[in-house]
Amino acid sequence: MLLWYRRCQTLGLVNMFGFLCPSGISPVVKFKKGDVNRAMEHRMNRSYYIASVFNRSTTKGRIFLTPYNVGRHWISCVIDPYNSIGYFMDPLHNDKNKGTGNGVCEDLYTLIET
């Protein structure tokens, strides 16, 4: 994230981009099988964090960058809240996690949608 920020500074694009804290968006807690309520509460807290950052943004049209931890692997996320667009870039390109049926896309999609 520091590299992204410094690059934006060099190019004069700091006001165009915002940054989300990786621990605020990534699922950092493992839950046991029966902890559905705690898992949902954790997801809602992450959604509230994202919403609060978006609401504090003073620059309309700002695009947000964040790393997202999938467990043993990091991906990059680009979120444009004003146009309701989100992208994630997975360098491992794991086909089983594509779409909303499984894995990282499901959690990230639900989190941002919420």
Tens-of-pLDDT digits for all 114 residues of the chain?
788 888 888 998 888 888 888 878 877 666 677 777 777 787 888 888 888 888 887 667 788 888 887 767 788 888 888 887 888 777 776 555 554 444 556 777 777 777
User: What is the rounded distance in angstroms from the CA atom of residue 50 to the CA atom of residue 44?
Assistant: 10
Q: Edge-to-edge strand order for the sheet containing 17-19?
A: 17-19, 63-69, 74-80, 85-89
User: What is the rounded distance in angstroms from the CA atom of residue 60 to the CA atom of residue 87?
Assistant: 19
Domain count, the chain: 1
Q: What is the CATH number of the domain that holds 30?
A: 3.30.310
Q: Which residue has the tokens 């779409």?
A: 99
As a whole number of Å, the end-to-end CA separation of the chain is: 24
**Structural domain boundaries, residue 16:** 2-113
Q: Which residue has the tokens 């003073």?
A: 58
pLDDT for position 98: 52
